[in-house]
């Protein structure tokens, strides 16, 4: 890793809020050039650790040291935004008052994140508020950047842009995210916060699964060793050796210590979410058939008018969805994904076209906005709204508390109001209620937001075993790659095209990720970058023949690398691969890391050539 002195360090850090500490004896350093992924289960203390590093939470014990004059940028999960301040003022306030470019930089940051600088912060949705806070964190150009779930509520074009920004970032970065693809492409170090201890790996997240498997195996061996030692000691005790004799008291004390150590290890084993989807009887073979669907909305006053006077959300879209299909729907925010789902479900009338549903459909819908959750009701009332202490999960009756435990809720939380839950807990509650209902058509709108990776893995397994049909709206590329049989790409200008395979397959076939905005993220320069000098050329403001050929060849090369990465990630997702073929696992992990590096290089070269092409073209105008 980086040989330079740490920008920030924690030494023997301990923090708890009563009861068992979140972490103790924790040592951590971050140096310039390190891009560290911080992983761990929900509730393990990741967000709190970021607050400690940001200087917002004091340690119970231990020290925090940082270089003099260190500029820290911090993005919390839930930003506290002044309601009456405009976005432009909020972002600009993150920059020095004497910076003459502060307003322009703030506006550029907001534009890239599709935000209106004149809007008041109090009028924003939760997702828009997070993007405003992200714009402020990025535009300050800090030495240390701490990001807590930065990709939540961002669309894929913006996520790809953010990856480029952070890859070019030359400070130290610590990021929490459930987006595996984002972490694999970005990180060069991994920190694992697990049951109060921090483990460090001087490699990126692409190597995490193999490393975690090794640590778990070592822990299992230690647990087994302790068990055998205890067995021997108990055998000695049961043979009738008296414990009253002084020389045997030490051995008895040792046996108690061994039992306590083993109990501690067993207790420390992480809990596991238990999920299973209740399934209704089979639907007909045809689930949904759509022919030439079209939908437009009138433009609001003052907005730019289209030629037909309306904004076209969907234009001439047809599909045929059969029982067992798993359809992903992808597009930037505002592209019309939710509208398409509502059209397909018959909840919204198309302007033109025809829709037909199959027989025996039982539909269950996951709503990312959580509007179906009453914040004043308890978790118990949410799962058993008609009273009583049980609910039906498919054809099986379950006690409410036992079913909540399946989703990692404590018994004490059963009588708490929904409004007391974190984002991840609210999503788990929604999933608990949704999966209890018999269905043969599941509609999931951004189900992965705020879920930890273990819960994501289990949700993926549940959906893989689900015998019905799935409609999945998501920005999680890894999740889409693992689950989908086809993907619908929406360009935000009414175009929607379905491609067989997962997300990477769809993007490769489409020749790139569609984005109707003129200032696509792949052509955007870094927020802090100064305009490059225009190259003098005799080619009339064009790239050389060799450079143009290289530029033309990069998009298909990027698509090939993305497909290769998707295949390797799918292979490494096989939980039995490491025990079955350790050498193959190692080769696949190394290949994934190498392919990720090549993809980063190809994307940066594309940006460089595209930027040069734009500058040359501008010089001839």
Q: Provide the CATH number for the domain around residue 113.
A: 3.40.50.300
Do 457 and 605 lie in a common domain? no
Residue at 1 is within a domain: no
Do 334 and 232 lie in a common domain? no
Strands 286-298 and 310-322: antiparallel
Domain of residue 594, CATH code: 1.10.287.380
Residue at 425 is within a domain: yes
Q: Which residues of 22-51 are buried (b: 16+ CB within 10 A; e: fewer)?
A: bbbebebbbbbbbbbbbbbbbebbbbbbbb
| Total number of domains in the chain | 4
pLDDT digits (tens, 9 = 90+) for 279-292: 566 677 889 999 99
For residue 572, report the phi and psi dihedrals to the nearest 5 degrees.
-70, -15
Do 168 and 244 lie in a common domain? no
pLDDT digits (tens, 9 = 90+) for 436-486: 888 889 999 888 877 777 778 878 888 888 888 999 999 888 889 888 889
pTM value? Answer: 0.66
CA-CA distance, 230 to 254, in Å (whole number)? 9
Do 501 and 560 lie in a common domain? no
Do 240 and 198 lie in a common domain? no
Do 170 and 28 lie in a common domain? yes
Task: Identify which of 405, 140, 143 has the alpha carbon closest to the alpha carbon of residue 275.
Answer: 405
User: Average pLDDT for residues 170-178, to the nearest whole number?
Assistant: 92
Task: Identify which of 157, 277, 216 has the alpha carbon closest to the alpha carbon of residue 454.
Answer: 216
Do 417 and 467 lie in a common domain? yes
**pLDDT for res 524:** 29
Which domain covers residue 378, as residue numbers?
286-510
CA-CA distance, 509 to 560, in Å (whole number)? 10
Residue at 278 is within a domain: no
Do 406 and 441 lie in a common domain? yes
Which residue has better confidence, 350 or 109?
A: 350
Which residue has better confidence, 309 or 292?
A: 292
Helix (H) or strand (E) holding 306: none
pLDDT digits (tens, 9 = 90+) for 527-575: 232 233 333 333 445 777 777 888 888 888 887 887 788 777 677 666 5
Domain boundary among the residues 457, 475, 510 is at 510
| Lowest mean pLDDT across 101-115, 204-218, 236-250, 483-497 | 236-250
Residue at 608 is within a domain: yes
Residue at 276 is within a domain: no
User: Average pLDDT for residues 400-421, to the nearest whole number?
Assistant: 86
Do 107 and 241 lie in a common domain? no
**pLDDT for res 258:** 52
Do 143 and 261 lie in a common domain? no
Do 46 and 152 lie in a common domain? yes
Do 245 and 390 lie in a common domain? no
Residue at 277 is within a domain: no
CA-CA distance, 222 to 199, in Å (whole number)? 17
**What distances in angstroms separate CA 467 from CA 402, 438, 535, one per listed residue?**
25, 11, 59
Task: Name the pLDDT band for 183 (thresholds 50, 70, 90).
Answer: very high
**What distances in angstroms separate CA 519 from CA 293, 522, 536, one per listed residue?**
28, 8, 25
Residue at 521 is within a domain: no
**pLDDT for res 246:** 44
**pLDDT for res 161:** 80
- Name every residue whose Cβ is closer than 8 Å to that of residue 612 and which is 6 or more positions away in sequence: 532, 535, 543, 547
DSSP label at residue 3: -
Domain boundary among the residues 457, 478, 510 is at 510
Residue at 215 is within a domain: no
């Amino acid at each position: 890793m980086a040989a330079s002195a740490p920008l920030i360090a924690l030494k023997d850090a301990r923090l708890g809020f009563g009861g068992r500490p979140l972490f103790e004896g924790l040592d951590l350093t971050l140096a310039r050039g390190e891009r560290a992924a911080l992983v761990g289960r929900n509730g393990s203390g990741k967000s709190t650790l970021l607050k400690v590093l940001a200087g917002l939470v004091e340690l119970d014990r231990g020290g925090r040291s940082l270089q003099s004059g260190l500029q820290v940028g911090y993005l919390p999960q839930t930003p506290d935004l002044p309601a009456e301040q405009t976005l432009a003022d909020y972002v600009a306030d993150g920059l020095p008052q004497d910076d003459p470019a502060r307003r322009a930089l703030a506006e550029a940051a907001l534009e890239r994140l599709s935000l209106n600088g004149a809007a008041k912060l109090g009028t924003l949705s939760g997702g828009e508020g997070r993007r405003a806070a992200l714009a402020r964190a990025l535009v300050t150009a800090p030495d240390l950047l701490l990001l807590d779930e930065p990709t939540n509520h961002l669309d894929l074009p913006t996520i790809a842009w953010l990856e480029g920004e952070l890859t070019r970032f030359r400070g130290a970065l610590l990021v929490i995210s459930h987006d595996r693809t984002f972490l694999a492409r970005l990180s060069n170090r991994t920190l694992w916060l697990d049951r109060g201890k921090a483990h460090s790996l001087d490699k990126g997240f692409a190597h995490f699964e193999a490393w975690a498997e090794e640590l778990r195996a070592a822990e299992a061996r230690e647990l087994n060793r302790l068990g055998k030692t205890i067995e021997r000691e108990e055998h000695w005790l049961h043979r009738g050796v008296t414990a009253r004799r002084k020389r045997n008291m030490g051995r008895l004390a040792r046996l108690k210590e061994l039992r306590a150590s083993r109990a501690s290890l067993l207790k420390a084993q992480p809990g596991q979410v238990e999920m299973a989807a209740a399934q209704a009887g089979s639907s007909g073979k045809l689930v949904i058939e759509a022919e030439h669907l079209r939908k437009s909305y009138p433009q609001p006053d003052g907005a730019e008018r289209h030629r037909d006077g309306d904004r076209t959300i969907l234009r001439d879209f047809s599909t045929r969805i059969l029982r067992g299909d798993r359809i992903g729907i992808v597009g930037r925010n505002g592209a019309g994904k939710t509208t398409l789902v509502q059209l397909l479900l018959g909840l919204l009338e198309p302007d033109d076209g025809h829709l037909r549903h199959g027989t025996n459909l039982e539909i269950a819908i996951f709503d990312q906005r959580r509007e179906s959750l009453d914040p004043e009701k308890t978790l118990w009332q949410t799962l058993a709204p008609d009273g009583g202490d049980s609910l039906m999960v498919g054809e099986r009756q379950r006690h409410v508390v036992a079913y909540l435990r399946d989703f990692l809720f404590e018994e004490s939380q059963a009588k708490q109001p929904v409004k007391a839950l974190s984002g991840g807990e609210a999503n788990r509650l929604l999933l608990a209620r949704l999966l209890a209902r018999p269905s043969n058509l599941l509609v999931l709108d951004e189900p992965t937001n705020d879920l930890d990776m273990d819960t994501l893995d289990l949700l993926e397994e549940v959906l893989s075993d689900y015998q019905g049909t799935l409609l999945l709206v998501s920005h999680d590329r890894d999740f889409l790659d693992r689950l989908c049989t086809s993907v619908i790409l929406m360009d935000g200008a009414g175009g929607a095209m379905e491609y067989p395979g997962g997300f990477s397959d769809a993007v490769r076939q489409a020749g790139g990720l569609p984005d109707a905005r003129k200032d696509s993220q792949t052509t955007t320069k870094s927020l802090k970058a100064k305009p490059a000098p225009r190259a003098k050329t005799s080619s009339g403001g064009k790239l050389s023949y060799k450079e143009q050929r290289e530029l033309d060849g990069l998009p298909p090369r990027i698509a090939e690398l993305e497909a290769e990465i998707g295949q390797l990630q799918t292979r490494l997702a096989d939980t039995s691969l490491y025990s079955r073929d350790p050498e193959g696992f190692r080769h696949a992990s190394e290949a994934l890391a190498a392919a990720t590096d090549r993809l980063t290089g190809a994307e940066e070269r594309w940006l460089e050539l595209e930027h040069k092409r734009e500058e040359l073209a501008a010089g001839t105008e």
